[in-house]
């Protein structure tokens, strides 16, 4: 379903529904009393962002480790594959909602309410930033513990009063730390107002690494060989370019002509470099246009040539990646791949990758222009924040890493 339409439904239908649901939740609480208990079966709700499924992983593992809890997850169907990169939550514990139409959303939402009761979910952690839809699912889930971000005195973020653990959202801390704060609230031994009065150390948001075996790497190399028959894994150096960004925030896209300049120059620098343009099958045509503008047989349209859960094996055989601020910037964080992420309407302070990543950010006075308070919708139609990032500056950083890697490899060969 169209993103703007979803936002409108969330507002115009969500606000009155949250009011009604709040009255229902309070009535149920009054009739049956307060039954808050230690979390045992914990459901995490993150519907719309694939990258957030990676950023929440440290929080989920903390709940698993400190709370000895069984984990469940609720996500939109189109984003569910992102959970398979680390497999922290078993496939059988993932509930998906088909977001293609209002009818599908309504039907799956009803099924979800039965599903939570069948699995005896006692704790729900709503990771969404003030979404009324996720608040409704959380409040009506039947769980006795319900943690999420609460507006408190912030205007315009109403989504009812259905939480038992109201956490103060901190826009000055990385979102992964905000997610940890939600878990801390659910695990708290006493009530706080607001939750969570805890320190979240940098060490708590360290990501687990994906397990990639030799078979997976061999399969990936065979896919590259299919697209470029001259590929030699002992000689060629793979550079990944991800020029895409989701429709949720198209302003995150760096200029296509800038990507072309970067690719042409890298290919001219070293005859052993292969550039792979990645993306989903739906993005293959757009990637093909970029490929044609580069005018090199060593620039390969790799969009749609692999499954999303095969990305860790691709990242294992690559040398570096340049990407817009989107899912791949977070997916690569579960591998050692050196990644450069272009930021514009959002800030790396809040949404930076947790991996071996370097943000490239102009930091204009108007950036970031999207936040929880505007439901990540910006009025901007002229993303100067990304136009200000010139290909020459990006090339300088990429070339430095490639030169360092080449020197390290030469020293390694000499020492043998």
pLDDT digits (tens, 9 = 90+) for 204-237: 999 999 999 999 999 999 999 999 999 999 999 9
Give 124's DSSP letter. E
The rounded distance, in Å, linking the Cα atoms of 359 and 391 is 14
- In this predicted structure, the answer to whether residue 31 has a pLDDT above a threshold of 90 is no
For 24-59, b/e burial (b = at least 16 CB within 10 A) is ebeeeeeeeeeeeeebebbbbbbbbbbbbbbbbbbb
Which 3 state secondary structure label does DSSP give 138?
helix
Which 3 state secondary structure label does DSSP give 239?
strand
pLDDT tens-digit readout, 339-386: 999 999 999 999 999 999 999 999 999 999 998 888 888 889 999 999
Question: Do the domains 214-415 and 3-205 match in fold?
Answer: yes
Domain ranges of the chain: 3-205, 214-415
What was the pLDDT predicted at 34?
Answer: 63
The rounded distance, in Å, linking the Cα atoms of 145 and 125 is 8
> Among candidates 169, 170, 151, which has minimal Cα distance to 160?
151
Judging by DSSP bridges, how do beta strands 70-76 and 94-97 pair with one another?
A: parallel
User: How much is the pTM?
Assistant: 0.94
For 165-189, b/e burial (b = at least 16 CB within 10 A) is bbbbbeeeebbbbbbbbbbbbbbee
Alpha helices in 272-360 (DSSP H): 284-294, 311-317, 327-331, 348-351
pLDDT tens-digit readout, 127-154: 999 999 999 999 999 999 999 999 999 8
Which 3 state secondary structure label does DSSP give 51?
coil
> Among candidates 74, 402, 69, 117, which has minimal Cα distance to 262?
402
Q: Given 2.40.50.100, 3.30.1360.120, 3.40.50.2000, 3.90.1280.10, which CATH number is that of 214-415?
A: 3.40.50.2000
Cβ(397)–Cβ(374) below 8 Å:
no
Mean of the pLDDT values across residues 69-73?
A: 98
> Among candidates 43, 42, 51, which has minimal Cα distance to 86?
51
- In this predicted structure, the answer to whether residue 416 has a pLDDT above a threshold of 70 is no
- For the domain 3-205, what is the CATH superfamily, name and number? Glycogen Phosphorylase B; (3.40.50.2000)
Give 48's DSSP letter. S
- In this predicted structure, the answer to whether residue 334 has a pLDDT above a threshold of 80 is yes
């Amino acid at each position: 379903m169209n993103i703007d339409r979803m936002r409108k439904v969330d507002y115009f239908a969500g606000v009155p529904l949250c009011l009604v649901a709040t009255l229902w939740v309070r009535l149920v609480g009054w009739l049956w009393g307060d039954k808050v208990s230690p979390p045992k079966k914990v459901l995490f709700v993150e519907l719309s962002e694939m990258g957030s499924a990676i950023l929440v992983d440290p929080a989920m593992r903390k709940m698993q480790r400190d709370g000895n809890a069984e984990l469940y997850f609720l996500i939109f169907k189109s984003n569910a594959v992102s959970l398979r990169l680390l497999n922290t939550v078993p496939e059988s514990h993932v509930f998906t909602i088909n977001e293609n139409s209002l009818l599908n959303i309504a039907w799956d939402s009803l099924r979800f309410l039965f599903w939570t009761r069948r699995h005896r979910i006692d704790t729900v952690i709503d990771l969404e930033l003030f979404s009324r839809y996720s608040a409704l699912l959380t409040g009506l889930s039947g769980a006795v513990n319900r943690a999420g971000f609460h507006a408190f005195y912030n205007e315009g973020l109403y989504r009812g009063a259905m939480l038992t653990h109201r956490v103060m959202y901190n826009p000055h801390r990385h979102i992964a730390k905000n997610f940890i704060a939600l878990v801390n609230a659910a695990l708290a031994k006493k009530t706080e107002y607001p939750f969570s009065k805890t320190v979240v150390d940098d060490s708590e948001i360290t990501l687990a690494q994906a397990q990639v075996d030799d078979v997976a790497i061999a399969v990936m190399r065979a896919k590259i060989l299919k697209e470029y028959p001259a590929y030699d894994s002992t000689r060629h150096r793979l550079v990944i370019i991800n020029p895409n960004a989701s429709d949720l925030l198209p302003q995150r896209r760096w200029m296509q002509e800038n990507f072309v300049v970067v690719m042409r120059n890298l290919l001219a620098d070293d005859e052993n470099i292969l550039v792979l343009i990645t993306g989903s099958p739906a993005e293959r045509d757009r990637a093909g246009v970029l490929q044609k503008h580069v005018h090199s047989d060593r620039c390969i349209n790799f969009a749609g040539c692999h499954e999303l859960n095969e990305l860790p094996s691709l990242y294992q055989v690559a040398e570096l990646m340049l990407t817009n601020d989107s899912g791949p910037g977070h997916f690569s964080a579960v591998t050692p791949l050196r990644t450069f992420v272009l930021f514009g309407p959002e800030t790396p302070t809040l949404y930076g990758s947790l991996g071996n990543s370097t943000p490239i950010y102009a930091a204009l006075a108007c950036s970031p222009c999207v936040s929880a308070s505007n439901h990540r919708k910006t009025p901007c139609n002229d993303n100067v924040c990304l136009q200000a990032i010139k290909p020459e500056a990006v090339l300088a950083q990429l070339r430095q890493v490639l030169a360092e890697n080449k020197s390290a490899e030469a020293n390694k060969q000499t020492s043998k």
